[in-house]
Amino acid sequence: MSARDLAKEQPASFAFNAEYLALAKKVIAKYPAGRQASAVIPLLDYAQRQEGWVTRPAIEAIGAMLDMAAIRVLEVATFYTMFNLSPVGKTHIQVCTSLSCALRGSGEVMKACKDKLGLGAGDITPDKAFSLIEVECAGACVNAPVAQIGDDYFEDLDYASTAKLIDAFKRGEKPKHGSMIGRDASAPAGEAITLTEDPTKPIPKQDLAAAKAAFEKAKAEAAAKAAAPKA
């Protein structure tokens, strides 16, 4: 995974605009006095949506709003890969390279990004159109490998489908998100191999008398066998 450090070049200041300030105040108001720090993740998200990334001045401003030391806010921002600590491209590609995705081929997804865009993890194209990072578990292991682009997840990726996605974004299109192999949500790929019976079919009534008789017979046979003298 890429290093999680703040960018060296930082803006001089940060302030929420009217829209995000109103949202921030609404979130903070949900928590009782002394518990405002619980709003730190939503406020970092608002700062990123406004600026495109989380800046040092934003971290300091959020700390002041929540009565938190700036270092505490920084700890949260550097822990979660959802927060960009440096400027990102217009199309920001986040490829999960945790265990499930790695086993299912996230290396090929990264290779496609390298081949199509000339990017490695943590890089941004000169025109700032694309950027690429590796992230820890994206929480979509069933449909691995997965990449997040903007707010959308693109799942069941391979080299070819990743390259196709990049070409679509280059053309200014917004590809349909979700599974790239037509999987229904997180359902198993292909035909069902378990629980194949019709779930709407009525369950036949059991003959309780016959079942009880079979049980008693088996019980008696077991008792007789246990009581028989050993040869």
62-116 pLDDT tens trace? 999 999 999 999 999 999 888 999 999 999 999 999 999 999 999 999 999 999 9
Is the pTM here over 0.95, yes or no?
Answer: no
Centre a 10 Å sphere on the Cβ of residue 177 and count the other Cβ atoms it contains: 15
135-162 pLDDT tens trace? 888 899 999 999 999 899 999 999 999 9
Confidence class for position 6, pLDDT limits 50, 70, 90: confident
Asked if the 18-79 domain carries CATH number 1.10.10.1590, the reply is yes
pLDDT at 196 over 80: no
Confidence class for position 166, pLDDT limits 50, 70, 90: very high
Q: What pLDDT shows up at residue 230?
A: 72
Asked if the 91-179 domain carries CATH number 3.90.580.10, the reply is no
Diameter of the chain by CA atoms? 95
- In the chain, list all ranges with CATH 1.10.10.1590: 18-79
Please give the Cα distance from 177 to 7 (Å, whole number): 30
What does the pLDDT average to over 192-213?
Answer: 78
The residue among 117, 182, 121 whose CA lies nearest residue 156 is 182
- In the chain, list all ranges with CATH 3.40.30.10: 91-179
Which is more confidently placed, 184 or 112? 112
Q: What pLDDT shows up at residue 66?
A: 96
Q: Which long-range contacts (CB under 8 A, 24 or more apart) does 181-189 make?
A: 181/156, 183/143, 183/155, 183/156, 186/140, 186/142, 186/143, 189/156
